[in-house]
Amino acid sequence: MLWFVRLEVQDLDLLESGKRGRELEIKELSNVKEEVYGALDSFIAWELEFPLVIVKKALAVLEDEREWKKIIQVTKWMLSKGQGRTMGTYFSLLNALAEDNRLDEAEELWNKLFMEHLEGTPRKFFNKMISIYYKRDMHHKLFEVFADMEELGVKPNIAIVNMVGKVFLKLGMDDKYEKLMKKYPPPQWEFRYIKGRRVKVKAKQLNELSEGEGGLSSDEDKIESKSELLSGEEANQDEEELVGMNQRQIETSREPCLDH
């Protein structure tokens, strides 16, 4: 299997004497753990400090190329060195495991993180696990994660509410669906990023957006980082400036990002 990653970054130690590039290259490697780890160990053999920035940028390149197996290998190697132990790293690993259909490992990682952090578990981890179970029709486990969210007071985003609601309807649990919609009513307005600009759109437009742009996209966890929902009260405060806007119109907003 041919795999090649080339990444050039500035060596901060040599900024005064001139900039030079560093390269991380791994060629013609199989998926054998020892071979990958050996190549990576050779790369850092003469480093005084672990090149965390280089490795993380390499992981970003791999994610863009959807090289899930290599992301898993490099991330596990990095963690084995005691480096990069952040929630962002663990989330990237969880996502790669799910994309590579290594569900058992993904669940093992999720359970470990959840037991260690409980109330401190970021919402996007709950969202990712619900998304994983939704795509695989694992309804019982989906309900378990959603119940944990509610017990810990973690508010679900619109994509999660829609997924759970669809499962309720699929299983004929109409009463539970109605209670869910009453507890988490659809928002009136939504902030989104379009071509780098923060804009406000009517929430009803979510159903009109194409796959991957909104609603139940193929990567629900990204919705959370690209949009913030307005409550009904906040929407009413802005209603005057939005009068006359039809359902497809959008306008640039100057308001600060809202925390969930």
The tens digit of pLDDT for each residue in 54-106 reads: 889 889 888 988 989 989 999 999 999 999 999 999 999 999 999 999 999 99
| Residue 102 DSSP symbol | -
Burial category of 211 from C-beta neighbours within 10 Å (exposed 0-12, middle 13-18, buried 19 and up): exposed
The answer on 181 and 124 residing in a single domain is yes
Are the CB atoms for 42 and 77 separated by under 8 Å? no
On whether the CB atoms of residues 69 and 100 are closer than 8 A, the answer is: yes
> Given 38, 63, 83, which residue is the final one in a domain?
83
Overall domain count for the chain: 3
Range(s) of the domain holding residue 66:
1-83
For residues 128 and 37, membership in a common domain is answered with no
Instruction: Check whether residue 177 and residue 191 sit in a common domain.
Output: no
Sorting pLDDT into bands at 50, 70 and 90, what band is 191? confident
Q: Are 63 and 94 in contact (CB under 8 A)?
A: no
- pLDDT, mean over the chain: 75
d(CA 138, CA 132): 8
Question: Per-residue confidence at 48, pLDDT binned at 50, 70, 90?
Answer: confident
Same-domain pairing of 217 and 167: no
Rounded CA-CA distance 210/238 in Å is 27
Last residue of a domain, one of 185, 213, 231: 185
Q: Show the beta-strand stretches assigned E in 39-118.
A: none
| 176 and 200 both lie in a single domain | no
With 0.75 as the threshold, say if the pTM is over it. no
CATH number at 97 reads 1.25.40
Q: Comparing C-alpha atoms, which of 183, 229, 182 is closest to residue 204?
A: 229
Are both 94 and 32 inside the same structural domain? no
Q: Answer whether 31's CB lies under 8 Å from 56's CB.
A: no
